[in-house]
Amino acid sequence: MSTTTEAHEGHDAHDAPEAKPPKEPFGASIAVLFSPDRGMQRQVRVGRARFYFLFAWASSIALGVVTAVRVDARSSTLKQLEMMGQLRSMSERQIAEETQSGERVAMVTSIAKAVVSTPGGLGMACLAVVVLVWFFRGRIKGSAVAPVAAATLVPGALANLVDAVAAYRHALIPPEGVPLGPRTLTAVMQLFHKPLMGAAMKFGNALDFYSLWAAVMMGYGVAAVGQIPKRRAVVGTMIAWVCYRLLTNVAAGR
């Protein structure tokens, strides 16, 4: 009788649906930004990529739409026509048509870039996590890569929101763009009327505070995903970030 009961209970336990992992509280989703040490550990256990991805995507699209609405291509069109020697031979109507054509191209480009940048950024962040874990000889947990990578998109999303507000406050924005929210050391120094020049300006452009924030988060994420000592993961990730920023800004002549 007892054997039958135990078998029945075992059968019921086997048929019972697996318990779903608890939903991540909103406070925990925000805490990963300011306490990446514990936050990334939580991302590896029960983290979700959807919330961070959608937030980053919405922020990027908001910036693209605001920039597209504010675009004004008249000055750049006049300059281009003058360089080509066509300005004096064109009527005001033709100039207006060229201006509208330039604005339409700028609007489509701005929105298209906003739509594809976040999925592309997530893919690059996932690749960076995998490569760093492999480089540090860690044990990668595949299901945790996307949640960790998605969380690192949030600093850039916050920067896009700041830029969207700054773009909205501009009456007109040329297609080549204007400086918006201060992201880099160079932009911050300009706010204090102490602009950097020459090589110092290139190094200042390389020091992007939001990108640095994301790099610190990724360092703790790499440690959590690959079961790597935190000090080694964070320091190694920061070195990789410095090399990447110098390569893409200083060496590229930005």
Residues 67-97 have pLDDT tens digits of 999 988 888 887 887 787 776 777 788 878 8
Six-digit token string for 104: 């339409």
Q: Is-contact 126 146, C-beta < 8 A?
A: yes
Residues 187-243 have pLDDT tens digits of 888 888 888 888 888 888 889 999 999 999 999 999 999 999 999 999 999 999 999
Over residues 89-109, the mean pLDDT reads: 84
Identity of the residue numbered 17: P
Check pLDDT > 60 for residue 5.
no
* Structure-token match 């964070």, residue found: 234
Give the SS3 label for residue 71. Answer: strand
Q: Length of the chain, please?
A: 254
> Mind giving me the DSSP string for 220-235?
HHHHHHHT--HHHHHH
What is the band of 170 on the pLDDT scale with cuts at 50, 70, 90?
A: confident
Alpha-carbon distance of 153 to 49, in angstroms, equals 10
Sign (positive or negative) of CA dihedral 112, 113, 116, 118: negative
Distance of CA 247 to the CA centre of its chain: 18
Residue 49 vs residues 123, 127, 144: alpha-carbon distances, Å: 12, 15, 9
How much is the mean pLDDT over the chain?
85
Sign (positive or negative) of CA dihedral 142, 147, 148, 150: positive
Query: Cα angle vertex 154, ends 145, 225, to 5°?
Result: 20
Alpha-carbon distance of 196 to 201, in angstroms, equals 5
Residues 53-62 have pLDDT tens digits of 999 999 999 9
Lowest mean pLDDT, pick from 14-23, 60-69, 112-121, 124-133: 14-23
What is the band of 117 on the pLDDT scale with cuts at 50, 70, 90?
A: very high
* Structure-token match 């919330």, residue found: 51
Over residues 153-181, the mean pLDDT reads: 90
What is the band of 252 on the pLDDT scale with cuts at 50, 70, 90?
A: low
What is this structure's pTM? Answer: 0.82
Share of the chain above pLDDT 90, in %: 46
